Amino acid sequence: MRTQFLAIAVACVLAAGCGSQSELEPAAAIPETEPPAAPGAAETLPDVIVAERGGFIPEGVEYDMVNGRLLTGSLTEGSVFRIHADGRVEALVEDEELVSSVGIEADEPRDRLLVANADRSVFQSGGVGQAKLGIYNLTTGERIAMIDLAATVDAGDDAMHFANDVAVTDNGMAYVTDTRMNVIYRVDADHAASVFHSFDDGGAGPNGIVHHPGGYLLVARGATLWKVPLDDPGAAAEVTLPEEVPGQDGMVWTAGRLAIVSNSANRVVALTSDDDWASAGIAGAASYEEQATTAAVVGDDVYVVHPHFGDDDPPSFERVAFE
């Protein structure tokens, strides 16, 4: 779920740190970036990859541009896997504290992999779930930190949590959505966590999240898209869309457009904006047959993941075509 603009982030690292959000590139300028050179040759991916086995139910998918790897999480096994072009499933992160790895985010400038660590039993057996952020070395999978996000909320022991997706800003700040608690957490470079914003309007809980270098987050909430300023989250506002986009799930930037996976309509909708995301227009759409949840950008292509929630078939990853 690519949520940062890599070219800007790399420039910030080389310059020993970015300035304030107001000094970032204007919102209208969304660069199309080339991935940095990988240490080894990346696999050429086919139009459809079918995993060699099922059972792990991937919800999140990401492409590690530095190492040239397609990565995915697992609602049932917790681990983070590399999916090879021939469908082989190879473990990258194995951590007994990972229960359900949901959204995953490659922070290439810092060689980090950020994983929203939830517990899917909150939707099945009356459990209270969890909201944690796992931080791992992107190259080796070694654990760097595990942060208890739910501990920042004073809501009682029976409060329900589900860490869903994660975005990283150019200065390394991480933002994690908690769908059940209806909040966004912030985790700083020292791994200190806090509640960044709480949606108190009674609407759908936040799901997919991306960062825009104009200084705000875009957040999927059911059939609505929200803009949340980093310097004033209380000014969060719904983005006006020309039509309802139901079941908004994972979101990625691709070719200057925001691509949103609709997990209920079996399509990816590409949006653009000419007013700093107060509103947006539809720039294209891609359809597919099986339910998908999230997407990854691989070069000029967008791949969606088909988890197969309701059957025992192995999950698959499909390149989509926009019309």
Does the predicted model carry a pTM greater than 0.75? yes
pLDDT of residue 314: 98
For tokens 């985790």, what's the residue? 187
pLDDT of residue 7: 38
pLDDT of residue 35: 41
Chunked in runs of 10, what are the mean pLDDT values of the chain (323 residues)? Answer: 40 32 34 42 90 97 97 96 98 97 98 97 87 98 98 89 97 97 97 97 96 97 98 98 97 96 97 98 97 97 96 96 96
Q: Which amino acid is at 77?
A: E
pLDDT of residue 41: 58
Instruction: Indicate the pairing of strand 183-187 with strand 80-83.
Output: unpaired
For tokens 């940062």, what's the residue? 4
Ranges assigned E (strand) in 125-189 = 129-130, 132-137, 143-148, 161-168, 174-178, 183-187
CA atoms within 13 A on the CB side of 18: 20
Largest CA distance in the chain: 50
Nearest to 141 by CA among 94, 196, 199, 208: 94
Task: Kindly list the structural domains of the chain, giving each domain's residue range(s) and its CATH number in brackets, ordered by start.
Answer: 6-14+46-320 (2.120.10.30)
